[in-house]
Amino acid sequence: MTNKTIDLSDELYDYLLHVGLREPRLLRELRDATDNEEMSVMRSAPEQGQFMALLIKLMGAKRVLEIGTYTGYGTLWMALALPKDGEIVTCDISEQWTFVAHRFWEEAGVHKKIHLHLQPALKTLDEQLANGGESSFDFVFIDADKENYAAYFERSLALLRPGGLIAVDNTLWNGSVIDANNHETSTEAIRAFNEKMHLDNRVDISLLPIADGLTLALKN
Ligand code: CA
């Protein structure tokens, strides 16, 4: 018995999925389709997608902002969790990666809830702010280029309503955050972001060791 988070062996992880995951068929198929893409490591883990869907239902969220669509796997989990009049503004720059998403969003009947903006996310966030979007989102998922995490977070916080939640992906960055020899710009950016979050009293935080590390920040 230990009071620290359990180590997950491959076998224990398989068990976790076996008894803990209820992944709808279309999500499973989208995951399989994504696993054939070269950047499949960028797809959200299924238990993480399910967890964010649960958070969205728990909060009664209606408006979601996603920074980093990729193949739309996390988007689909969240869209299925939203009520009929819910919506997702999702940001990406890659037509190629988001191409596969559309078919699955449509087949799941949630495509009308999803608004994909294909341009640099900072531009989309600034447009949302300029168009009166301040405090208009309930939930934000940040999962894009790590160098811009701090900038995404600041804009997201402005776009989020008080009591809203920001989820930030990859904050343990495959463990490289504690590798003193790793000075890649992405690693340095995540380290700096994590240190800043630790001291940011505009939000309550929780860093969950789910998938590659997921930091939750609740706006005061
Ligand atoms: Ca990610």
- Spatial CA neighbour of 178 closest among 190, 163, 196, 166: 190
Tokens of 95: 């037509």
Taking residue 109's Cβ as centre, other Cβ atoms within 10 Å add up to: 11
Instruction: Tell me how far the alpha carbon of residue 41 lies from the centroid of ligand 1, in angstroms.
Output: 8
The H-or-E segment that residue 216 falls in is: strand 214-219
pLDDT at 21: 98
Q: Percentages helix, strand, coil for the chain, rounded to the nearest 5? A: 50, 20, 30
Instruction: Tell me how far the alpha carbon of residue 42 lies from the centroid of ligand 1, in angstroms.
Output: 5
Instruction: Tell me how far the alpha carbon of residue 69 lies from the centroid of ligand 1, in angstroms.
Output: 10
User: b/e for 55-90, b at 16 or more Cβ within 10 A?
Assistant: bbeeeebbbbbbbbbbbbbbbbbbbbbbeeebbbbb
Tokens of 46: 């299924």
Taking residue 143's Cβ as centre, other Cβ atoms within 10 Å add up to: 23
Instruction: Tell me how far the alpha carbon of residue 122 lies from the centroid of ligand 1, in angstroms.
Output: 18
Domain ranges of the chain: 10-219
Question: Span 10-219: which CATH code?
Answer: 3.40.50.150
Position 31 pLDDT exceeds 70: yes
- Give the tens place of pLDDT for each residue, 126-170: 999 999 999 999 999 999 999 999 999 999 999 999 999 999 999
The pTM assigned to this predicted structure is 0.96
Tokens of 13: 């992880």
Instruction: Tell me how far the alpha carbon of residue 38 lies from the centroid of ligand 1, in angstroms.
Output: 14
Instruction: Tell me how far the alpha carbon of residue 164 lies from the centroid of ligand 1, in angstroms.
Output: 21
Instruction: Tell me how far the alpha carbon of residue 44 lies from the centroid of ligand 1, in angstroms.
Output: 6
Instruction: Tell me how far the alpha carbon of residue 75 lies from the centroid of ligand 1, in angstroms.
Output: 12
Instruction: Tell me how far the alpha carbon of residue 199 lies from the centroid of ligand 1, in angstroms.
Output: 23
Instruction: Tell me how far the alpha carbon of residue 170 lies from the centroid of ligand 1, in angstroms.
Output: 5
- Strand bridging mode 87-92 / 160-169: unpaired
8 Å CB contact between 93 and 66: no
- Give the tens place of pLDDT for each residue, 65-100: 999 999 999 999 999 999 999 999 999 999 998 988
- Give the tens place of pLDDT for each residue, 101-137: 999 999 999 999 999 999 999 999 999 999 999 999 9
Instruction: Tell me how far the alpha carbon of residue 190 lies from the centroid of ligand 1, in angstroms.
Output: 12
Instruction: Tell me how far the alpha carbon of residue 213 lies from the centroid of ligand 1, in angstroms.
Output: 9
